Each structure stands twice: as structure tokens, then as C-alpha cells.
Amino acid sequence: MAPVRLRHPKGVSTIQVAFDRDDFTVQDLQQEIYTATDILPSRQILKSGYPPRALTIVPELPLNSLGLQSGEQIIVNEAPGSSSSPASTFPPAAAFSPPVSQARPSSSATLSPPRSNPSTSASREPPASDAASGPDHVETDGGVLVHRVVPDDNSCLFSSVALVFEQSITKAPEMRKIVAEGIKKDPETYNEAILGMPPAQYQATILKPSTWGGAIELGILAAHYRAEISSIDVETGRIDHFSPGESGGSGMRCILIYSGIHYDAASLAPMADAPGEWHQTLFPVISSDDSDPILVAAKKLADILRSKKAFTNTSTFDLKCEDCGQGLKGEKGARAHAEATGHVRFGEY
């Protein structure tokens, strides 16, 4: 076994990998990275070398297919994703390659996010048959935890954060400004290698209303509001915790619901159809693990949404190249097509 150094959104880690074993695969490397970073293999964006180059990931191949050496550093970013309109721009550190475009390993071009599929996107309203019962919700201590749907307008992450911290999605543009300022204030953390583009360019990009947000943005917003942001993945039930950092925070957390390409919020209310001003959006951190009662309720809410197929698997969804019309399968297909053709605009069937 030999050491490999990881730089990822939560810090720096070292993992041990078997360069000398033919049966040690790229997938094994991804699992080690997942253990160290909590970033699912399907969402890992890996770069190495200087200047950093994107690694072409084929999980079944042996590790030596990546050309890595013992002691080498790998830059790890997560591609969570966000909204689902057809003409948006991916920032370099969020979803579907979003904000760090996994489909453009050596290009500065941006990708258009996939179109929303009404049968899979969690950003859609509940089916007509559920309309009478109001929004999806689960009972918990003190009331019901309610799924708060925000618009599909490429600002869903910012709208959700604005809803929980400012009680209004109209303040989403202010969330973008907070992110841009956070990057400007901390050039050591948010450098070109982490952002995937020069920091000044990233700041300008994230301020555009057509740009999605992801892990980098959630980390900055958590630090700004001095509260943990807990994002639960509908498909897997996994909860990603974005801590307020060195400030220690206020001991509070909020809940976001992530569908694979869209973020919504969750809040506590006395009844599912209570007016917005009756909703509680910040919760005291009772437990540091996922046994915290509000997180247990959030998992149950994700279970309801999963049962309705209210998520999009970005590794298997069907895409079409908007430049040439070719049909593609998932992120891997889009990445290969982009490398072969230079085309960077994709939409979901």
C-alpha cells in the first residue's frame, strides 16, 4: 500500500492505495476516497498533476489506468447538482458536472444543465392525487416537517438557503453575493485548483442567475450564517453536513432536500398547510450524528419522496447533445462526448 494525498472541499486527507496490485481498481480508489470525504463515487470529480487535469474514470479498470504515482495528490470535488432548466451554466463546483463540469476535463467551456424530467425531478409539485393533502410532510416532535418546494429557475440552492435563513426566496441573489464575497475573502481555500477556474471568473459566474450552486456554495453559506446546512439526498438517504467551520457556529442547523438536480428546503410547522410565517427553519443541533430527531424526520421525508421517484440519477439519466442531437447516457456519456467533439450543451430527455 502507498499513500495518496487528497484535497477536497472539507480539507486534506491521506489514503492508502495498492499501486502494485492488478486487482486494485479505479472503483477501489473511489471507495477509499468516499471513506475519506463522504463524496459518493458517482459524484466524484478527480484531478491530478500540474496544472490539474481531469481523470477519466472507468471504475472497472485497474488503478494504473489513471497514470497515478505513489505520493501523488488528487484534487476531489463533488458534483451534486441543482436546478433543471435547459439553458443554464454550470459553475465549477456543483452538479452534473455541475458546478465543476466533469464533462470538460481540459476546457473552460460550460455545460448547460439537463432539462427537468417531470417523472423524476424532485422539483416538481406532488401529483394531482396528493393535492388535497398538501405538501409532502412527516410528523415529528412539535409538529410536521414539511417539504418546501422552490422554483426550477437555476437558483434553487440559493432560494432554499434564502428561505431557511431569510424567510424569503426573493433574497436568492443576495446568497450569490455572499458566496462571491466568501471566495474573495479566502483565496487560499478557494483557489483555482479547487474552483476549476480563476477565482475572479468563478465569482463573476456565480453571480449570474443562470448558474447552479453546489458543495462550495453550501460551505460558504454555512460559514456566513454560522449554522450547519444538512442536505439529504432523496435517492440514497445520505446526509451531507456543511459545517460553519472554525467559527464554531451557533449550534443550529437547517435542512435541504436534494433530488440529484434540484434543492428544496424543509421546515417545521404545526400543520402541513400552515402559512410560511408559522414555519421554523432552524433547529438546535441535539446530536452530532444522524440520530438527531430532526434528521431522522428528514430521512423519513426523503423516503416519501423516493417512493414517488422524486429524484434523478445523474449517472443513468438520458441526455441529448443540444449541439448535434446525439442521444447519451448519464454523466459518463456526456463527458466522453464532450471530450470527443467539444460539444458542451446537454439537455435531459
pLDDT tens digits, residue range 303-321? 999 988 877 766 666 777 8
pLDDT tens digits, residue range 37-82? 888 888 888 988 766 778 888 887 888 888 887 777 898 988 754 3
Quote the pTM value: 0.60
State the pLDDT at residue 308. 86
Q: Using an 8 Å Cβ cutoff, are 7 and 73 in contact?
A: yes
Percent of residues, the chain, with pLDDT higher than 70: 78
Lowest-confidence region among 93-97, 110-114, 282-286? 110-114
State the pLDDT at residue 182. 96
H or E element: which one contains 160?
helix 156-166
Percent helix, strand and coil across the chain, each to the nearest 5: 30, 25, 45
Active-site hit among 28, 38, 153, 186: 153
Does the pLDDT of residue 270 top 70, yes or no?
A: yes
Active-site hit among 224, 241, 262, 279: 262
pLDDT tens digits, residue range 165-174? 999 999 999 9
State the pLDDT at residue 247. 66
Active-site hit among 8, 147, 279, 343: 343
Q: Is 254 a catalytic residue?
A: no
Domain ranges of the chain: 2-78, 128-307
- For 219, left (φ over 0), alpha (ψ -120 to 50), or beta? alpha
Active-site hit among 8, 136, 152, 156: 156
The fold adopted by the segment(s) 128-307 is: Cathepsin B; Chain A (3.90.70)
The fold adopted by the segment(s) 2-78 is: Ubiquitin-like (UB roll) (3.10.20)
> What is the spatial distance between Cα 248 and Cα 298, in angstroms, rounded to a whole number?
23
Higher pLDDT, 295 or 317: 295
Does the pLDDT of residue 102 top 90, yes or no?
A: no
Q: Is 156 a catalytic residue?
A: yes
